[in-house]
Structures are given as structure tokens and as C-alpha cells.
Amino acid sequence: EVQLVESGGGLVQPGGSLRLSCAASGFSFSTYALHWVRQAPGKGLQWVSSISSGSSSIYYADSVKGRFTVSRDDAKNSLFLQMNSLRDDDTAVYYCARVDVWVQLDCWGQGTLVTVSS
């Protein structure tokens, strides 16, 4: 069974840092691109970042560029999102998702909640 499990969310003060993890199982992790998508409370889906297989292509939404860093460890079947200089508007549930050939997000984790508040 294909599975993605996020962890690392929590409460952090503005300006603080947090590192999210996404553990994958049930598929050949190294051959897939992976994305982070977030959803603020009561709001829609917002794409955050993507990383290709082999980490050769990495993209960020303008709202997080320069503050967030995506990475992957294929040996550990894990995806990461290092989030620095966090702001109130970064508060959201963060999902990791696997991407298939047509850039459809065909498998999602259950999400991890990040709350930025003083």
C-alpha cells in the first residue's frame, strides 16, 4: 500500500523554525517527484514546493522562497521541508504528496498542522 506520513508540525513563534518530515512506503520512492502543499484554516489548497527525482529540479512558491528548503533522502524514503523565519500566515496543515507522470498528485499524506503564533 502506498503511504505517506507527515510529522514535525507544532506550535512555533513568529520568526522561528520547524522541520517537517514525510515518510514514504509502498512504492519506489527515489523514482518519484514529491510536493508540499498547504492549507490554511478554512482556506483552499496552496502549492508550496516541489523536488524532482534525483533532486535535480526544485521549485518554490514565491510566498516561501528564501525561507523554506525542500530536500529528500532516498536512502531513508523521506522528504523534508525546513521552514525558517516563520510568519503568522504560514499557519496551515502541510501535506506531502507524490506526483505521477502528468504532474497529478496521486497520493497524499494525512497532513501535519503548523501553527505560528506568539
Partner 1 sequence: SYALTQPLSVSVALGQTATITCAGYNIGGKNVHWYQQKPGQAPVLVIYRDTNRPSGIPERFSASNSGNTATLTISRAQGGDEADYYCQVWDGSTGWVVFGGGTNLTVL
Q: Measured from the CB atom, is 20 or 118 closer to partner 1? A: 20
Which residues are near partner 1 by CB under 8 A? 35, 37, 44-47, 50, 57, 59, 61, 95, 100, 102-106, 108-111
Cβ distance 49 to 38 under 8 Å? no
Strand 68-73 relative to strand 78-83, pairing: antiparallel
Q: For partner 1, which is the closer residue by CB, 50 or 116?
A: 50
d(CA 26, CA 55): 20
Task: Report the nearest approach of partner 1 to the CB of residue 118 (Å).
Answer: 27
Quote the least distance from Cβ 16 to partner 1, whole Å. 26
Report in angstroms how near the CB of residue 26 gets to partner 1 at its nearest. 15
Q: What is the amino acid identity at position 92?
A: A
**Residue among 46 and 78 whose Cβ is closer to partner 1:** 46
Question: Quick one: 15 or 54, whose CB is closer to partner 1?
Answer: 54
In angstroms, give the least distance from the CB of 95 to partner 1. 6
